[in-house]
Amino acid sequence: MAEIHLIGRAASPGLAIGPVTMLTAAVARRTASDDPAQEAAALRAAIEGARAEIAEQIKTNQGEVADILEFQVAMLEDDALADPAYGVISEGIAADHAWRLALDVEIAGYRAAEDEYFRARAADIVDIRDRVLAHLSGVDTVARIAGGSIVAADDITPSAFLAADWSRGGAIALAAGSPSSHVAMLARARGAPMVVGLGPLSWNGQPPALALVDGDAGTVIFDPEPETRRLFEHRMVNAAQAAVDAGRLESARTADGQRIAVLLNIAAPEDLAGLDPAICDGIGLVRTEFLFEASQGLPDEDAQYAVYRRILDWAEGRPVTIRTLDAGGDKPIAGLTIDNERNPFLGLRGIRLSLARPEVFRGQLRALCRAAVHGALKVMLPMIAVPSELDRASALLDAEFTSLRAEGIACARPPLGIMVEIPAAALLAEAFGAAFYSIGSNDLTQYTMAAARDIGAVADLNDTGNPAVLALISQTVDAGRKRGVEVSLCGDAAADTRLTTTLIATGLTTLSVAPIAVARLKAAIAKVRS
């Protein structure tokens, strides 16, 4: 699927990446009476119910949010808004139908206004319309937005915006909308990037899964190519660096003095450009598949060696964990992964693919053994499900190390660990002879919850904080303790500061995050008290 670039107007600054949630209006059904007096009473009660509900919300909000809600209360208290609806009801039309007809005329009037200020208020009237309709039908018509998602819609109401948890990231991409709308004000206040006026959001076939929103430039890219995404993530890192906080250089410690190692997740040496290695305790995850992705054809042993060496040189002796190729799933690589695999997340990905293509795997293992002489390299295998996969990979690593030595090439045999990202590996972690465990919470969560990591509609279920996922994490930490090997966590949950206390409570003492997240994570760790 080719990526889709859309240009709109910047409405709230910042950069965001996330799964796409398409907002469509819910339609509620209601059984009407044929008595106009009863219908008028039902409308009056629904308007009063909506007004009371908003008044209640005002009590728990301040500033701009409260002002916006007060504007809606004032609209609902103005008889002029409902008068046309009562007029139609007296002619025998049901209350919900009458209210919708009257408000739609009002909304059309606002949308056609000369003045942008009035055009920008249309979403508030839509909000009022839907809230009263919800009271009339007894059904909640406010669209639910999963935290962290990119909301793609024609327009979005303040209620829908306020119902979402924006502390988890996310952004808004609107076909219509206005930078001076109430939602845009709310987005700016909550730090959610927003782009409006993108024009019709129409797709051929499947709606997009992922989007990159640039709230500074006013652009949105749907279904980005891996390289576009990588460059965008790099820009996010640089943008965050502009707001660098001095605490980044301090080692992380909890409020009661426990030392927590904070490592970096990267995809290429370029991700380290301009970064001081003193901000971290090493590199916890190098996703090598992006190296394969960007090159023309698969990179040869020398090309890989040069890249791995650059990363080790940057780390100045700190540990560096490089993961062998994790192609497949959401990371297809032309010429390597299986085209049109029916269920790629459950197919030939990660270590399974490497073992099926030993000629590619051997080249990577050789490059890693050669790089290992330049620093504290550790090698990690992705998508391990059973101990025999580790054993086979370990035998291949031994064989490549032996043959390099026989060829007189400088090399070392790095320790070999596994990612714990399949529930089977977490449940039986102790049975693996791994030199270390690194928990891949992104995949561990999706496989435990049966909720894909890239489908916005199930984003709420894709929750690492779910007790079932946390139990698997604890079990892995216990296995590491019993076997005396290190356990780290390198999935996105490591950067989710709402989970920091919980993750440390499982016994984890090593977290690996994108460079952008280091300062925030260290600040969150400093607040943890056991």
Residues marked active site are found at: 182, 490
**CB under 5 A: which stretch of 34-42, 274-282, 299-307, 443-451 binds Mg ion?**
443-451
Please identify which residue in 39, 223, 421, 496 interacts with Mg ion, judged by CB under 5 A. 421
Q: What is the DSSP string of 186-231?
A: HHHHHT--EEE-------SSSPPSEEEEETTTTEEEES--HHHHHH
Q: Which residues of 84-109 are buried (b: 16+ CB within 10 A; e: fewer)?
A: bbbebbeeebbbbbbbbebbeebbee
| Nearest approach, Cβ of residue 476 and ligand PEP (Å) | 13
Torsion of CA 122, 160, 77, 63, to 10 degrees: -100
Query: Facing residues of 285 across strands?
Result: 265
Cα 12 vs. chain centroid, distance in angstroms? 19
**CB under 5 A: which stretch of 39-47, 100-108, 433-441, 515-523 binds Mg ion?**
433-441
Closer to ligand PEP at the Cβ: 187 or 490? 490
| Nearest approach, Cβ of residue 285 and ligand PEP (Å) | 6
| Nearest approach, Cβ of residue 349 and Mg ion (Å) | 9
**CB under 6 A: which stretch of 188-196, 237-245, 438-446, 466-474 binds ligand PEP?**
438-446
155 binding partner (options ligand PEP, Mg ion, none; Cβ < 5 to 8 Å by kind): none
Q: Exposed, middle or buried, 123 (CB in 10 Å: 0-12/13-18/19+)?
A: buried
| Nearest approach, Cβ of residue 490 and ligand PEP (Å) | 5
**CB under 6 A: which stretch of 2-10, 32-40, 435-443, 470-478 binds ligand PEP?**
435-443
Please identify which residue in 6, 333, 490, 514 interacts with ligand PEP, judged by CB under 6 A. 490
Tell me which residues in 280-309 interact with ligand PEP (CB under 6 A): 285, 287
How many angstroms separate the CA atoms of 470 and 340, rounded? Answer: 33
Residue pair 133/96 in contact by the 8 Å Cβ criterion: yes
Asked whether position 492 contacts Mg ion by CB under 5 A, the answer is: no
Residue 16 tokens, joined: 């965001």
- What's the per-residue H, E or C state across 385-412? CCHHHHHHHHHHHHHHHHHHHHCCCCCC
Please identify which residue in 158, 218, 415, 440 interacts with Mg ion, judged by CB under 5 A. 440
How many angstroms separate the CA atoms of 433 and 427, rounded? Answer: 14
Task: Give the per-residue contact string, 375-414, with Mg ion (x = CB under 5 A; - = no).
Answer: ----------------------------------------
How is residue 280 annotated by DSSP? S
Please identify which residue in 96, 155, 233, 443 interacts with ligand PEP, judged by CB under 6 A. 443
Asked whether position 441 contacts ligand PEP by CB under 6 A, the answer is: yes
**Tokens 């060696």, located at residue:** 305
Closer to ligand PEP at the Cβ: 5 or 498? 498
Asked whether position 148 contacts ligand PEP by CB under 6 A, the answer is: no
364 binding partner (options ligand PEP, Mg ion, none; Cβ < 5 to 8 Å by kind): none
| Nearest approach, Cβ of residue 247 and ligand PEP (Å) | 25
298 binding partner (options ligand PEP, Mg ion, none; Cβ < 5 to 8 Å by kind): none
- In 259-385, which ranges are continuous DSSP H helix? 289-294, 301-315, 351-356, 358-371
269 binding partner (options Mg ion, ligand PEP, none; Cβ < 5 to 8 Å by kind): none
Residues 6+ apart with CB under 8 A from 395: none
How many angstroms separate the CA atoms of 331 and 341, rounded? Answer: 12
Closer to ligand PEP at the Cβ: 324 or 442? 442
The closest alpha carbon to 3, from 260, 208, 248, belongs to: 208
Residue pair 94/41 in contact by the 8 Å Cβ criterion: no
Please identify which residue in 332, 440, 456, 480 interacts with ligand PEP, judged by CB under 6 A. 440
Asked whether position 106 contacts ligand PEP by CB under 6 A, the answer is: no
How many angstroms separate the CA atoms of 39 and 46, rounded? Answer: 10
Asked whether position 54 contacts ligand PEP by CB under 6 A, the answer is: no
Judged by the rule CB under 6 A, the positions of this chain that interact with ligand PEP are 285, 287, 326, 421, 440-443, 490-491
